[in-house]
A and B are shown apart, each in its own frame.
Chain A
Amino acid sequence: MKICVLYGTETGNAEMLAEDIQSALEDDHDVTCRNLADTDPAALDGETFHVVVCSTYGDGDLPASAQPFADRLEDGAHDLSGVRFAIFGLGDAEYDETFTQGSEKLAAKFKARGATQIGARLTHDASGDDLPEDIALPWITDILANMSVEQEEG
């Protein structure tokens, strides 16, 4: 499968996780990894499965590198119908009111433009004991397994 891992990052933690996801998947798939800051919404296509990793910054805001992408998505009349994505959020539950709102807001923006979300949005808590990759890698492996089952059945 063609997979593009997209990340929205502020401190680099989401970028690191995106790279981990790329490494974990690239034996079986054709995987690229890119910063949302360098991504044009118009370039998202239906053939590629998009795996989005997005943190939260400030008061539940999108991280800096996702902001220009979100603005472009808002401004242009982009039609993302046919685009499939999964999204993983990073946050810090110390700030419980705004925990992982960055990824939540970004998912809503994708869907508002007609994109289809595959699987549930899972999140990692920076103040918790787990490592982000220990949650994200089984998450994406499951999603991909389900997708291939559906493909075979379909």
Chain B
Amino acid sequence: MAGKIAIVGAGPSGCYVAQAFLKADPGLEVDLIDALPVPFGLVRYGVAADHQGTKGVMRQFARIFERQGARFFGNVHIGRDVTLKALREAYDAVVLAAGLCEDRRLSIPGGDLPGVHGAAALTRALHEHPQAGALPALGPHPLILGNGNVAIDLLRLLCKTSEELNGTDLGPGPSAWLAGNAFEAITIVGRSPAARAKFDPVMIRELGKLGNVSIKVEGAGRSEEPEEQKRLEALAAIDGHGSGPLKVTFRFELRPLSVEGKDRVAGLRVEGPNGEETVRASSVLTAIGFDSNGDLDRATLLDEAGEREAGKLADGLFAAGWFRRGPRGTIPDSRTEAQATAAAILEEMAPDPARAGPAIFHKLENVVDYAGWQRIDAAELARSTPERCRQKLPSTGELLRAATQQDIDQ
């Protein structure tokens, strides 16, 4: 079949959808469009810099372009450079896999005080996302609110010494920021009991390798349920770990009431099993989920969706990944879902050869194709050092320059 498919978002979900399409039918034209000049989304900017093994899926995704014929259109913002309407007219099927990039807001009194930062914004800044803001001063006692893997990633990175960051792709700016922080204590606060926290036990165990910390786990409680017990065992295994100067304390079952402080964060007022208290904090880092930034009018699309559960929004328009199901699920979850999504779309797609396909991007400037990404990739790898496996180009300007640079040096 010679159908034309556009996938908006070249992150893990979009890439897995493309892979599933091309595996099912190598004759399809599959185009991945991303607002950034680079592909791979959260694998590049969300998966922590010290989890390079997890980033290994990028090799699979590279093959989609290098061997299976998918095309990349980077630096193309659907909704701004090209309307969704125009995209839908040009393709037989459009899959929205643009993710969710905004931090869910902490909607309690004081939730917008200076010193309250979202984990997504911080993670982007740490990983040199071209649209990230500057890394903020967190003071000596940051408090992380949230108990998912995002919270644990952030905690681990904040605790690592320079040596422990060897082999990562953390940039010079973020590395200097981490080294200069001089935290005294980090408290991580969860709303649920420890047994029902969302993090994976393996992420907790990994904290037992940190050299600069001393870890205390308070009020983890008990459970009879096997999955919950795994979580509690992991926490028990790190309780008391280390004798380093940076004190890390896990607290559970604390419902946040308000962020305390006059002109900036001084603490978090919480209610727990033993009543109310204020937990000292020089900053509050919220890792309580992600939300849409309003792009592509996701809320309306989902509200009006014909078969929302199946990811079908309208005729020829589908959703995948976090854009579809909310900010839950791991990279393998996206893969399983992508295979089902692609199969369902192929079942009902009726290709129309008159559709324009990627011709609608021809008039745009600074579109980065896959060869452009390969030049960026090569430039970043060439900047690697003995301590860093890659040095990302941190701004859109630098990325675009590298994408168009001829290989004059070689």
Contacts and interface: CB of A to CB of B under 8 A. Distances in A.
A and B from one complex: yes
A131 B56 CA distance: 10
A9 to B, nearest CB: 9
Interface residues of A, number: 19
Contact of A11 (B50, B205, B234, B332): B332
Given A16-B59, A59-B230, A92-B53, A11 B331 contact: yes
Nearest to A63: B332
A58 B201 CA distance: 8
Contact of B53 (A16, A64, A98, A126): A126
A125 B60 CA distance: 16
Contacts of B331: 11
A59 B51 CA distance: 15
Nearest to A10: B332
Interface of B: 16, 19, 50-54, 56-57, 59-60, 63, 167, 200-202, 205-206, 230, 234, 331-332, 335-336
Contacts of B206: 94-95
Given A11-B332, A12-B19, A94 B53 contact: yes
Contacts of B57: 11-13
Interface string A1-37: 0000000001111001000000000000000000000
Most central of B53, B201, B206 by chain A CB within 10 Å: B53
Interface string A91-123: 011110110000000000000000000000000
A58 B335 CA distance: 16
A92 B54 contact: yes
Nearest to A129: B389
Contacts of B54: 92, 126
A95 B59 CA distance: 20
A130 B335 CA distance: 24
Contacts of A98: 202
Contacts of B16: 12
